[in-house]
């Protein structure tokens, strides 16, 4: 019972520096974020503020830091099948068909029949029916990214980390992918942590938005997004929050 109140992902007093020839480069400065199960957290910050560095720590890909990074009460010590990560570029195996790329994400010990069912389900989930036999180069960027999402989801991770997953896509495809990701989030009830430097993306997706300052990244504010879903980018509330975030944190950067 008590567990209900405990945060699912805990980032406490997290500090990270890289040792450089010229001395220490401080990248993350005393970060504190508590994330509840099933939340969609968007981490918003400018280029170089330490967003990817922080996600790598959550994924267990970098363990050289001070402070605490815990998932479900346990310290993250290395990569873990319960934590999936989607990178900016799709990172598919170019020599494997869609089906096999997705199959690659299945955990060990799953029977052949179950595997086939899982693959079918996930191809449908990301809307790629009919493309099972295609190779990555035969797909558009958005479709490739959907294969990546399916490959990550098929292992049934409890947490999905997304590092600017739609950064390379055109505006329309990007909006489609955002919608698709929300649909999957609602259906799978996963906890998602997405990094972006796009204010609209953060408002459209996030249950909460964590705003980081530029390097070293510090938490400037954590905003509850109280706009009802499905959210409309043209609505007044959306525009108000966009203005608040832009004026409060990013204005003045235009001329840099
Ligand atoms: N392995 C490394 N060694 C040294 N410095 C690094 C290393 N990785 C990242 N950095 C530095 O840490 C800072 C933060 O990098 P990071 O990739 O986390 O930024 P980011 O917020 O993800 O930026 P972007 O939005 O451009 O992806 C940058 O100044 C970068 O040069
Ligand atoms: Mg990055």
Cα 148 vs. chain centroid, distance in angstroms?
Answer: 12
Q: For ligand 1, atom 16, which residue shows the shortest CA distance? A: 50
Q: In what order do the strands lie in the sheet with 66-71?
A: 23-35, 9-20, 66-71, 74-75
The SS3 of residue 160 is strand
Q: What is the C-alpha to C-alpha distance for residues 246 and 253, in angstroms, rounded to an integer?
A: 10
Alpha helices in the chain (DSSP H): 51-58, 98-103, 112-125, 141-153, 171-188, 199-205, 236-245
pLDDT at 88: 80
Rounded to the nearest 5 percent, the helix, strand and coil shares of the chain are 35, 25, 40
pLDDT at 169: 78
Instruction: Report the predicted TM-score, pTM, of the whole model to 2 decimal places.
Output: 0.90
pLDDT at 5: 57
Is the beta carbon of 165 within 6 A of some atom in ligand 1? no
Judging by DSSP bridges, how do beta strands 66-71 and 40-44 pair with one another?
unpaired
* CB-side neighbour CA atoms (13 Å) of 98: 25
Ligand 1 atom at minimal distance to the Cα of residue 54: 18
Is the beta carbon of 196 within 6 A of some atom in ligand 1? no
pLDDT at 1: 45
* Of residues 78, 68, 75, 76, the one with CA closest to residue 12: 68
Averages of pLDDT over runs of 10 residues in the chain (256 residues) are 70 96 94 97 94 95 95 92 86 95 92 95 90 95 89 89 87 86 89 95 98 94 97 97 94 64
- Domain borders along the chain are 1-82+192-256
Is the beta carbon of 197 within 6 A of some atom in ligand 1? yes
Q: How far is the centre of ligand 2, averaged over its atoms, from the C-alpha of 55 (Å)?
A: 9
CATH superfamily for 1-82+192-256 is P-loop containing nucleotide triphosphate hydrolases (3.40.50.300)
Is the beta carbon of 27 within 6 A of some atom in ligand 1? yes
pLDDT at 254: 58
**How many helices, marked H, and strands, marked E, lie in the chain?**
7, 10
Q: How far is the centre of ligand 1, averaged over its atoms, from the C-alpha of 49 (Å)?
A: 7
Query: What ligand has the least distance to the C-alpha of 56?
Result: 1
């Amino acid at each position: 019972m008590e567990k209900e109140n405990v945060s699912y992902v805990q980032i406490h007093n997290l500090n990270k520096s890289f040792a450089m020839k010229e001395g220490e480069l401080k990248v993350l400065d005393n970060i504190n974020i508590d994330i509840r199960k099933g939340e969609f957290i968007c981490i918003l910050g400018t280029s170089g503020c330490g967003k990817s560095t922080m996600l790598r720590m959550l994924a267990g890909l970098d363990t050289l830091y001070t402070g605490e990074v815990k998932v479900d009460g346990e310290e993250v010590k290395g990569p873990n099948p319960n934590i999936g990560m989607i990178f900016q570029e799709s990172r598919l195996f170019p020599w494997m068909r869609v089906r096999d790329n997705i199959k690659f994400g299945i955990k060990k010990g799953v029977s052949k029949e179950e595997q086939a069912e899982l693959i079918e389900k996930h191809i449908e989930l990301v809307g790629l029916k009919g493309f099972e036999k295609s190779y990555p180069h035969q797909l558009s960027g958005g479709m490739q990214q959907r294969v990546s999402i399916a490959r990550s989801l098929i292992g049934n991770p409890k947490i999905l980390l997304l590092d600017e997953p739609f950064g390379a896509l055109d505006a329309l495809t990007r909006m489609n992918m955002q919608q698709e990701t929300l649909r999957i989030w609602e259906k799978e009830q996963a906890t998602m942590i997405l990094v972006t430097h796009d204010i609209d993306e953060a408002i459209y997706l996030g249950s909460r938005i964590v705003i980081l300052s530029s390097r070293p990244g510090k938490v400037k504010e954590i905003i509850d997004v109280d706009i009802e879903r499905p959210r409309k980018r043209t609505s007044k509330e959306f525009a108000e929050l966009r203005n608040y975030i832009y004026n409060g944190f990013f204005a003045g950067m235009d001329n840099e």
